[in-house]
Amino acid sequence: MDIYPSFSSPIPVLCRPKCCKAAYWFSGSEYAVSDIDSSLFTHLFCAFADLNPQTNRVTISSGNQARFSTFTATVQRKNPSVKTLLSIGGGGGDAVKAAFASMASQASSRKLFIDSSIQLARNNNFHGLDIDWEYPANAQEMANFGSLLNEWRAAVAAEARSSG
């Protein structure tokens, strides 16, 4: 809670800024998407889409396709204003870490990742995207991660401008 001074009173006025209440729903969970009480949240993350290490494209496994494609509509039945994000990655061990490191190391593979993530999010009615790369392991990977985030943000903004 932040304290903002009131000009009409010598006593500080306590103000609660608009806050974000977010949670992840994991596709391996025992809970169905319809079990989520989305009225408790401003944002819900649907986890996890996958990074294909051969193509550098984001995919949704066939086992998750039906749940991911209806995720937004399902949670918005209880809370029409909740925003949903497609989360990519997850722990996954050394193979997932290596896939992210490899993808982020080249501009061409970052573009494939970025373009496919935006298309997948749009096709499945998500409001945004999230990356769960655990974790860049060294200074070079961190620099590549920074490049990925900068390029991703620019691509998302450009897509939003063009699509409305």
As given in the structure block, the two tokens for residue 26 are 């994991």
Strands 43-51 and 58-59: antiparallel
Q: pLDDT of 129-138, one tens digit each?
A: 999 999 999 9
Q: What is the rounded CA–CA span in Å between residue 71 and residue 107? A: 31
Q: Would you say the C-alpha torsion 151, 152, 155, 156 has a positive or negative sign?
A: negative
Rounded to the nearest 10 degrees, what angle do helices 139-163 and 93-104 cross at?
70
Catalytic center residues: 134
What is the average pLDDT across 87-108? 94
Residue 26 has pLDDT above 50, yes or no: yes
Residue 91: which pLDDT band, with cuts at 50, 70 and 90? confident
Strand 2-4 relative to strand 13-15, pairing? antiparallel
Give the domains, in start order, of the chain with CATH numbers: 20-163 (3.20.20.80)
Give the global pTM.
Answer: 0.87
